[in-house]
Chain A
Amino acid sequence: MAENAFLGIDVGSISTKAVIIDESNTILAQEYIWTEGNPIGAVKRLLGHLEKQFDRTAWQIVGVGATGSARRLVGSIVGATVVKNEITAHAVGTTTFHPEVRTILEIGGQDSKIILVENGIAVDYAMNTLCAAGTGAFLTSQARRLGIEVEEMGAYALRSSHPTMIAARCTVFAESDLVHKIQMGHPREDIIAGVCRAVVSNYINNVGKGKKICSPVVFQGGVSKNEGVVRAFEDLLKCPVLVDEIGHLMGAMGAAILARRSLKRTVFDFSVGNMDFITRERSCGGCSNNCEVICVYRDGKMIDFWGNRCERGAAKLGGELSENSRG
Chain B
Amino acid sequence: MSGIPVIGIPRAMLYYRYGLLWERFFETLGVSTILSSPGNREILDTGAARAPDEGCLAVKMFMGHVESLIGRCERIFIPRYSNYGTTALFCTRYEALYDGARNIFRTSGQRFITCNIDAQNGSPEPKAFERFGVELGFSPKESHRAWKEASRALEQQKKAEEQAQKEMIRNPGIKVLVAGHSYVLSDPYLGKPILDYLISSEAICLRTDALEEETSRRACAQFSPTCRWIVSEEVVGAVLLWKDRVDGIVLVSAFPCGPDSMTNELLIRRIRGVPVLTLNLDTQSGMAGVETRLESFLDIIRFQRGEMV
Interface set of A (CB-CB < 8 Å, partner B): 69, 84-88, 91-92, 121-127, 129-130, 209-210, 258, 261-262, 287-292, 307, 309
Give 15 A-B contacts (CB < 8 Å), ordered by A residue. Answer: A85-B296, A87-B292, A87-B299, A87-B300, A88-B296, A91-B300, A123-B275, A123-B300, A123-B304, A125-B296, A125-B297, A127-B292, A291-B285, A292-B286, A307-B286
CB-based nearest A residue for B192: A309
Name the distance in Å between B11's Cβ and chain A's nearest Cβ.
13
B309 touches A290 (CB 8 A): no
* Chain A residues with CB under 8 A of B297: 125
B43 at the interface (CB under 8 A from A): yes
A288 in complex: contacting residue of B43, B193, B292, B303, CB < 8 Å: B43
B300 in complex: contacting residue of A125, A130, A290, CB < 8 Å: A125
* Chain A residues with CB under 8 A of B288: 69
Taking A130-B255, A209-B268 as given, write out 20 further A-B residue pairs in contact, using a Cβ cutoff of 8 Å, ordered by the A residue number: A69-B288, A84-B295, A84-B299, A85-B292, A86-B292, A87-B296, A88-B296, A91-B303, A121-B304, A123-B304, A124-B276, A126-B278, A129-B279, A130-B282, A210-B265, A258-B309, A261-B309, A288-B41, A288-B43, A289-B189
B157 at the interface (CB under 8 A from A): no
B280 at the interface (CB under 8 A from A): yes
* Chain A residues with CB under 8 A of B245: none
Question: In the complex, A273 Cα to B304 Cα: how many Å?
Answer: 39
B214 at the interface (CB under 8 A from A): no
* Chain A residues with CB under 8 A of B292: 69, 85-87, 127
Question: In the complex, A123 Cα to B299 Cα: how many Å?
Answer: 10
B42 at the interface (CB under 8 A from A): yes
Question: In the complex, A292 Cα to B292 Cα: how many Å?
Answer: 18
* Chain A residues with CB under 8 A of B268: 209-210
* Chain B residues with CB under 8 A of A88: 295-296, 299-300, 309
Question: In the complex, A121 Cα to B275 Cα: how many Å?
Answer: 13
Given that A122-B303, A209-B268 are known contacts, is A288 also in contact with B40, CB under 8 Å in the complex?
yes
Complex interface residues of chain B between 78 and 118 (CB less than 8 A to chain A):
none
B170 at the interface (CB under 8 A from A): no
A210 touches B269 (CB 8 A): yes
Question: In the complex, A288 Cα to B43 Cα: how many Å?
Answer: 8
* Chain A residues with CB under 8 A of B277: 126
Question: In the complex, A185 Cα to B65 Cα: how many Å?
Answer: 54
* Chain B residues with CB under 8 A of A85: 292, 295-296, 299
Given that A122-B303, A123-B304 are known contacts, is A309 also in contact with B287, CB under 8 Å in the complex?
yes
Question: In the complex, A291 Cα to B41 Cα: how many Å?
Answer: 8
B280 in complex: contacting residue of A122, A130, A261, A292, CB < 8 Å: A130
Question: In the complex, A77 Cα to B287 Cα: how many Å?
Answer: 21
Q: Mark B127-139, 1 if CB is under 8 A from A, else 0.
A: 0000000000000
Complex interface residues of chain B between 175 and 210 (CB less than 8 A to chain A):
189, 193
B293 in complex: contacting residue of A124, A127, A258, CB < 8 Å: A127
B282 touches A125 (CB 8 A): no
B189 touches A122 (CB 8 A): no
* Chain B residues with CB under 8 A of A124: 275-276, 300
Question: In the complex, A88 Cα to B292 Cα: how many Å?
Answer: 10
* Chain A residues with CB under 8 A of B285: 291-292
A122 touches B269 (CB 8 A): no
B299 touches A287 (CB 8 A): no
Question: In the complex, A130 Cα to B255 Cα: how many Å?
Answer: 9
* Chain B residues with CB under 8 A of A123: 275, 300, 303-304
Question: In the complex, A213 Cα to B299 Cα: how many Å?
Answer: 21
Name the distance in Å between B212's Cβ and chain A's nearest Cβ.
28
B299 touches A288 (CB 8 A): no
* Chain B residues with CB under 8 A of A307: 286
Question: In the complex, A91 Cα to B300 Cα: how many Å?
Answer: 9
A289 touches B40 (CB 8 A): yes
Name the distance in Å between A121's Cβ and chain B's nearest Cβ.
5
Question: In the complex, A212 Cα to B255 Cα: how many Å?
Answer: 26
Name the distance in Å between A82's Cβ and chain B's nearest Cβ.
9
* Chain B residues with CB under 8 A of A69: 288, 292
B286 touches A125 (CB 8 A): no
CB-based nearest B residue for A309: B193
* Chain B residues with CB under 8 A of A261: 309
Name the distance in Å between A51's Cβ and chain B's nearest Cβ.
29
CB-based nearest B residue for A92: B309
Question: In the complex, A307 Cα to B304 Cα: how many Å?
Answer: 30
Question: In the complex, A189 Cα to B145 Cα: how many Å?
Answer: 76
Question: In the complex, A131 Cα to B279 Cα: how many Å?
Answer: 12
Question: In the complex, A88 Cα to B296 Cα: how many Å?
Answer: 6
Name the distance in Å between B1's Cβ and chain A's nearest Cβ.
30
* Chain A residues with CB under 8 A of B287: 309
* Chain A residues with CB under 8 A of B275: 123-125
* Chain A residues with CB under 8 A of B296: 85-88, 125, 127
* Chain A residues with CB under 8 A of B286: 292, 307
Given that A86-B292, A87-B292, A124-B300 are known contacts, is A289 also in contact with B41, CB under 8 Å in the complex?
yes
Name the distance in Å between A315's Cβ and chain B's nearest Cβ.
17
Question: In the complex, A160 Cα to B11 Cα: how many Å?
Answer: 58
Q: Mark B164-179, 1 if CB is under 8 A from A, else 0.
A: 0000000000000000
